[in-house]
């Protein structure tokens, strides 16, 4: 039995029935990492010794007759922009190469309380800025389905680790698609919850009005279980919503008869690969076959979401990243005076894409350009929200491709920032409106995974999960695993 | 060309970034390409549209004014590049 390719809930059941111990399972996944990470390069930091200690504690709790929870003892890992007390957290930046946080992010604390075994920290585009993980300040991660291709980004390490059997589930963060786009590229399930559903306390800030943390898993049941652990109000994040968290696993009924699904035509426009469109249209036909009522609709401002996003997100980033000044934490490069110290530190600590976005955001916020760029983008954001509000007056969910293409080759878009930005065409509008969305495997094109994106009403993750579950139960795409040249 | 090399210099100064001549040239070209793409937004009339800075209907979120334990000073300073006498240490300012 290949433990490393089972789902987290299957492994949780094996643990509960004592068919395997948490220590044995953790050792198996550590072996798997040893076997494949040299090629996939998902991990920035590994914490095998700590993981085995955590596994021992879960085994001991079960031996005492306690029930530490359905995912207790299941090994997982975290995107390296989630603060972990005592374990270095780099955001894949030279700026934070040696930084060890003094506290745990709220999601990390909640996972620890649920008995999670943490294997380490995962690669990403520097400060989550990118769509391919090639912007990591350390090394690129590779797509387990084709090592010459990117895993997507920015949560490329988190997604590749799940796809390659190097972690049973992971957390990522999604500002413009950074969970859903790589999940689609690597054939796994990735969810961006509603803005405010999951506390951002301890997530290193990129664009604070857009960032959300979410689960990356091998199936929809795992997504529901992990979301249930990390969701909920947190007084440490003033934007976390004080709303009850439903039992997401109980929402997984494969019954979508009469459910109304809108298909926004703008997501099938220019730039989409014909074979990706075919695969997604077949997936929508499957939803119809299962009893959903699918209807073409329109979100007329879709084409403006990307330019508006690339003003709003860099503007917020330029403000958030002002804190990297060589004083409180991270890198310091000396200078003749304090201003030169700031400039030397920031110029040597940040990579090219981070600098580009800081420049863009600073320009958009600067005197004389604020109204023309930043304020304009915020007004367009209102129009994008209204499009979704109008659509959700008529539909329960919306279905679109998660990405316009399959995973591209390493280096293919590295020299052209705008071409890279366009790979988030289908995911960005959702962040601008603060809505929940999930990407799940819905087929293959050129042997590479294609993702179906389902977009839901604010705080209605339960319906999203139900539709995703119904699709998954009626198909086999989520059972396929990449070869990687090893058993 | 919405943005000139002189403006790139000015923005870099505001952002406290020291750019090499190669970086300056590259960013001038790339920022112009990106900003030209942004001009697409001007096709929309937004005169009477309220801006959305944030999607949640939240106003001033307050906690009770009760003292609670915070991060201990030594932990807060542990990641600093330089610290002395319980404080962050920076180059001389005045």
**3-state secondary structure (DSSP) of residue A79:** strand
CB A157 within 8 A of CB A80: yes
Q: Which CATH number fits domain A3-260+401-479: 3.40.50.720, 2.30.110.20, 3.10.180.10, 3.90.1300.10?
A: 3.90.1300.10
Give the Cα separation of A153 and A183 in Å (integer): 9
Global pTM? 0.97
| Rounded (10°) angle between helices A48-63 and A8-16 | 50
Q: Please give, rounded to a whole number of angstroms, the shortest distance from the CA of B1 to a CA of chain A.
A: 14
Residues 6+ apart with CB under 8 A from A410: A132, A134, A140, A142, A148, A149, A150
Work out the number of other CB atoms within 10 angstroms of the CB of residue A91: 29
Q: Please state the rounded mean pLDDT for residues A20-25.
A: 98
CB B5 within 8 A of CB B23: no
Q: Is the dihedral of CA A427, A433, A434, A438 positive or negative?
A: negative
Give the Cα separation of A269 and A120 in Å (integer): 40
Q: What number of CA atoms fall less than 13 Å from residue B33's CA on the CB side?
A: 12
- pLDDT value at A205 more than 60: yes
pLDDT in tens, A338-377: 999 999 999 999 999 999 999 999 999 998 899 999 999 9
Q: Do B41 and A308 touch (CB under 8 A)?
A: yes
pLDDT in tens, A239-293: 999 999 999 999 999 999 999 999 999 999 878 999 999 999 999 999 999 999 9
Q: Please state the rounded mean pLDDT for residues A193-205.
A: 98
Q: Do B17 and A310 touch (CB under 8 A)?
A: no
Interface with B, mutate which of A239, A379, A428, A459 (most B CBs under 10 A): A379
User: If you measure CA to CA, which chain A residue comes closest to B79?
Assistant: A329
- pLDDT value at B11 more than 70: yes
Q: Annotated catalytic residue: which of A131, A178, A240, A439?
A: A178
Give the Cα separation of A171 and A183 in Å (integer): 12
pLDDT bracket for residue A487 (50, 70, 90): very low
- pLDDT value at A336 more than 90: yes
pLDDT in tens, A223-244: 999 999 999 999 999 999 999 9
Q: With an 8 Å Cβ cutoff, is A360 touching chain B?
A: yes
pLDDT in tens, B16-73: 999 999 999 999 999 999 999 999 999 999 999 999 988 988 888 888 899 999 899 9
What residue segments make up the domains of chain A, in order of their start?
A: 3-260+401-479
- pLDDT value at B82 more than 50: yes
Q: Do B52 and A101 touch (CB under 8 A)?
A: no
Of A285, A244, A196, A199, the C-alpha closest to A462 is A244
Chain A / chain B CB contacts < 8 angstroms? 155
Give the architecture-level CATH label for domain B5-43: Orthogonal Bundle (1.10)
User: If you measure CA to CA, which chain B residue comes closest to A377?
Assistant: B41
Q: Do A209 and B53 touch (CB under 8 A)?
A: yes
Q: Do A363 and B3 touch (CB under 8 A)?
A: yes
Give the Cα separation of A421 and A440 in Å (integer): 21
Of A202, A87, A102, A88, the C-alpha closest to B70 is A102
Q: What is the complex's ipTM, to 2 decimals? A: 0.95
Q: Look at residue A302 in the predicted model and tell me its pLDDT.
A: 96
Q: Look at residue A247 in the predicted model and tell me its pLDDT.
A: 97
Q: Annotated catalytic residue: which of A131, A136, A154, A155?
A: A154
Q: Please give, rounded to a whole number of angstroms, the shortest distance from the CA of B68 to a CA of chain A.
A: 12
- pLDDT value at A27 more than 60: yes
Q: Look at residue B56 in the predicted model and tell me its pLDDT.
A: 87
Q: Which of B50, B80, B93 sits opposite A328 (nearest CB)?
A: B80
pLDDT in tens, A88-121: 999 999 999 999 999 999 999 999 999 999 999 9
Q: Do A304 and B49 touch (CB under 8 A)?
A: no
Q: Look at residue A415 in the predicted model and tell me its pLDDT.
A: 84
Give the Cα separation of A425 and A242 in Å (integer): 31
pLDDT in tens, A418-435: 888 888 999 999 999 999
Q: What DSSP string describes A253-280?
A: ----TT-EEEEEGGGGSTT--HHHHHHH
A178 is catalytic: yes
Q: Is the dihedral of CA A225, A229, A234, A239 positive or negative?
A: negative
Strand partners, A71: none
**3-state secondary structure (DSSP) of residue A59:** helix
A154 is catalytic: yes
Residues 6+ apart with CB under 8 A from B73: B86
């Amino acid at each position: 039995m290949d433990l490393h390719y089972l789902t987290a809930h299957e492994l949780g059941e094996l643990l509960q029935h004592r068919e395997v111990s948490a220590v044995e399972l953790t050792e198996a996944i550590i072996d798997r990492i040893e076997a494949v990470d040299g090629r996939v390069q998902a991990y920035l930091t590994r914490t095998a010794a700590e993981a085995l200690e955590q596994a021992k504690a879960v085994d001991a709790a079960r031996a005492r007759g306690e029930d530490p929870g359905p995912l207790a003892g299941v090994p997982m890992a975290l995107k390296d922009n989630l603060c972990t007390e005592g374990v270095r957290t780099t955001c894949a930046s030279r700026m934070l190469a040696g930084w060890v946080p003094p506290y745990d992010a709220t999601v990390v604390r909640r996972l620890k309380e649920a008995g999670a075994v943490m294997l380490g920290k995962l690669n990403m585009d520097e400060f989550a800025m990118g769509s391919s993980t090639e912007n990591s300040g350390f090394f690129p991660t590779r797509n387990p389905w084709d090592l010459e291709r990117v895993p997507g980004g920015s949560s490329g390490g988190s997604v590749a680790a799940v796809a390659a059997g190097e972690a049973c589930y992971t957390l990522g963060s999604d500002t413009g698609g950074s969970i859903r786009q790589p999940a689609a590229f690597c054939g796994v399930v990735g969810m961006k919850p509603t803005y405010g559903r999951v506390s951002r306390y301890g997530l290193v800030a990129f664009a604070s009005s857009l960032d959300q943390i979410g689960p990356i898993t091998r199936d929809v049941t795992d997504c529901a279980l992990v979301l249930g652990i990390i969701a909920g109000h947190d007084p440490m994040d003033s934007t976390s919503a004080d709303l009850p968290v439903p039992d997401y696993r109980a929402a997984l009924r494969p019954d979508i008869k009469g459910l109304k699904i809108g298909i926004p035509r703008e997501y099938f426009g220019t730039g989409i690969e014909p074979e990706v469109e075919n695969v997604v249209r077949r997936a929508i036909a499957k939803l119809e076959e299962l009893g959903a009522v699918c209807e073409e609709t329109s979100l007329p401002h879709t084409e403006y979401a990307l330019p508006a996003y690339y003003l709003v997100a860099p503007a917020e980033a330029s403000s958030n990243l002002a804190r990297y000044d060589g004083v409180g934490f991270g890198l310091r490069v000396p200078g003749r005076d304090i201003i030169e110290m700031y400039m030397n530190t920031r110029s040597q600590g940040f990579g090219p894409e981070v600098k580009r976005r800081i420049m863009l955001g600073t320009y958009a916020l600067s005197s004389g350009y604020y109204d023309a760029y930043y304020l304009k983008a915020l007004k367009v954001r209102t129009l994008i929200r209204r499009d979704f509000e109008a659509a959700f007056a008529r539909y329960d969910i919306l279905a679109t491709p998660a990405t316009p293409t399959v995973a591209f080759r390493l280096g293919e878009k590295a020299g052209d920032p705008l071409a890279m930005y366009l790979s988030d065409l289908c995911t960005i509008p959702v962040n601008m409106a603060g809505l929940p969305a999930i990407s799940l495997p819905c087929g293959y094109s050129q042997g590479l995974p294609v993702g179906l994106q389902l977009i839901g009403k604010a705080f209605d993750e339960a319906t999203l999960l139900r539709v995703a579950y119904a699709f998954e139960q009626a198909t086999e795409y989520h059972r396929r695993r990449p070869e990687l040249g090893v058993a | 060309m919405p943005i000139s090399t002189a403006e790139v210099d000015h923005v870099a100064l505001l952002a406290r970034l020291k750019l090499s001549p190669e970086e300056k040239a590259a960013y001038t070209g790339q920022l112009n390409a990106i900003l030209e793409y942004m001009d697409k937004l001007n096709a929309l009339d937004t005169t009477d549209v309220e801006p959305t800075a944030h999607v949640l209907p939240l106003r001033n979120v307050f906690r009770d004014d009760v003292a609670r334990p915070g991060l201990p000073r030594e932990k807060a300073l542990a990641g600093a590049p330089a610290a002395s006498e319980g404080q962050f240490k920076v180059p001389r300012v005045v």
